[in-house]
Structure 1
Amino acid sequence: MYSKNDVKEFIEMLEGSSLSVLEIKNGDGSAIRLEKAISAAPAVVMQANAPASVNESAPVAAPAAPAAPSAPVAEGKTINSPIVGVFYAAPSPDSNPYVSVGQKISKGDTICIVEAMKCMNEIQSELDGEVTEVLVKDGDLVEYGQPLFRVK
């Protein structure tokens, strides 16, 4: 089990590096995996009792293929995820979603929850407008900066 300070240190370690994924496995079988959205960077797996150094022979991920030019450009602004975690559209499985397509929202309205490290983080709208598209499904893993909603 990792302490809150350990987790904070791991997050700082990931943020201060060029890595996109940091996975740490402890000898007792516990593990922690952190991800951030960065262009092609190697993933590193470290044993808790191993020295904290980057494996120089770690494979580098292949660059992503360019987007298809025929895809239509959607109008409006997006509300992006401020953290990595699991997206939840509603406060509980049997509740209605915070927002739905066609709904007017105001800056500061709670629009979803992103669960990160067992903490439920209510995400507030940064924009005033109408929700034109929900870009992720309930229970999806979202990345930092990933668009969640389109608003016009």
Structure 2
Amino acid sequence: MAETAPSQDVFDVRKVRRLVELMKEHDLTEMDLRQENMRIQLRRGPKDMPVETIVRQMPAAPSAGPAEAAAAPAAAQASEKPAEDKNLGVITSPIVGTFYASPDPNAPPYVKVGDHVGPETTVCIVEAMKVFNEIPAEISGKIIAVLSKSGEPVEYGQALFKVDTTG
């Protein structure tokens, strides 16, 4: 008798079709609905559409760990440079996205060449999937180079700033 009321069933074909119509109408790519112990997940788009997950890594140690972690993606470049760069730190992008030097186009940049930063200092924003992620320096020192321009795309691990860790 419980199955005689399909209108309450989340898997009713008419309801699923209506959900698909709503997804198209509102340009949604994913919908996840749950009703008691039932669940329906709907996705629109190409079959091989990648799902991007944003993971923010937190530093393991306040100063030594992040400097090593930030310098790791630039290891190939560092191996080609002389040993005098041991006091050079690199702030890298933790995600793929769009680089912004300031919180809005009319505001001054978070940091500029010559500014001193600490591990918690916000140095820029990287926007990914309409989420604006504030990027901390994770190392202490003086900014000696800004390597990206506002509005430019950045890759995971791409160097954004060079930092003199002695200053």
Distance in structure 1 (CA, Å) of the matches to 2:31 and 2:142 = 38
Q: What is the deviation of 1:26?
A: 2.2
Q: Is residue 3 of structure 1 aligned with residue 30 of structure 2? A: yes
Partner amino acid for 1:146?
Answer: Q
Computing the radius of gyration over CA atoms, which structure comes out larger, 1 or 2? Answer: 2
**Residue matched to 1:123:** 135
Q: CA deviation at 1:3?
A: 3.0
Residue type of the alignment partner of 1:114 = V
TM-score by length of 1: 0.55
1:77-88 equivalence runs, <5 A: 77-88=89-100
TM-score w.r.t. length of structure 2: 0.50
Q: Which has the higher helix share?
A: 2
Residue 45 of structure 2 corresponds to residue 26 of structure 1 = yes
Unaligned runs of 5+ in 1: 6-24, 35-66
Q: 1:33 to 1:136 in 2, by over 3 A?
A: farther
CA distance in 2, matches of 1:4, 1:95: 37
Residues 46-75 of structure 1: CA deviation (Å, up to 9, x unaligned) = xxxxxxxxxxxxxxxxxxxxx9xxx86693
Deviation >4 Å, runs of 4+: 31-34, 71-74
The alignment covers a number of residue pairs equal to 96
Gaps of 5+ in 2: 1-27, 33-43, 53-76
Same amino acid, percent of matched pairs: 43
Distance between the aligned counterparts of 2:133 and 2:157, measured in 1?
A: 15
Aligned pairs for 1:102-113 (under 5 A) are: 102-113=114-125
